[in-house]
Structure 1
Amino acid sequence: MTKSELVDIIAEKQEGITRREAEVVVNTIFSVIGDALSDGGHVELRGFGSFTTKERNERLGRNPKTGESVMVPAKVVPHFKPGKDLRERVDRAL
């Protein structure tokens, strides 16, 4: 599902909300989550999951085109951990 498909579904399911209003809501939610993570915080949505950041250490990688070894610098990456309800829901669907 893409972001625009999500916006369309929200606009269809919620009477009285336009597609434009649904788009503002979705963009605001994503923006708030991104801001919280970039500030070093975390976001927990009970029943859905939690967004946190994880530090990755510097490591030796390889350029796939040339085969040359290169150092990949340390970095901080976003991480999502699904909640129990979401895990169970997905497991039942399969």
Structure 2
Amino acid sequence: MAKPMTKTQLVAALAEEMGTDKKSAGGALDAICGLITKEVSGGGAVTLPGVGKIYCRERPERMVRNPATGEQFKKEADKVVKMTIAKALKDSVNE
């Protein structure tokens, strides 16, 4: 598996794609990440066309097991961030 792209590499690629400098591209990336975080943490969802949908899902209270000791205990209800991948991205990976 290839190493994941770092933020610096992503900003550089974004700047080249946009035809702008790295500072503007970095600001745009930070703004997008901030908007996604704000929307999802507020219970909403964000769809990135061609990439997927990021949303928050509530998990109910449940019984879990500590793998080290085998002890079972009740885990409180919580929220988890999920992402559904768009069909276009799945298809492009399998070409």
TM-score range (shorter-chain normalised) is 0.7 to 0.9
Aligned partners of 2:93 and 2:85: how far apart in 1? 10
Q: Deviations over 1:10-68 (max 9, x none)?
A: 123332x2211111111110110111111111111222211111111222223344443
Q: 2:33 is matched with which residue: 30, 33, 41?
A: 30
- Aligned counterpart, 2:12: 8
Matched, 1:68 2:71: yes
Matched, 1:49 2:21: no
SS of the residue aligned with 1:47? coil
Q: Identical aligned pairs, as a percentage?
A: 35
Structure 1 pair 84–63 and aligned structure 2 pair: CA distance change class (3 A):
same
Residues of 2 paired with 1:67 and 1:3: CA distance?
Answer: 39
Over the residues paired in the alignment, what is the CA RMSD in angstroms?
1.7
CA distance in 1 between counterparts of 2:91 and 2:30 reads: 28
Of residues 58-67 and 26-35 in structure 1, the stretch that sits farther from structure 2 once superposed is 58-67
Partner of 1:77: 80
User: How many aligned residue pairs are there?
Assistant: 91
Who is 1:21 aligned against?
A: 24
TM-score normalized with structure 1 length = 0.81
Q: Gaps spanning 5+ residues in structure 2: where?
A: none
Unaligned runs of 5+ in 1: none
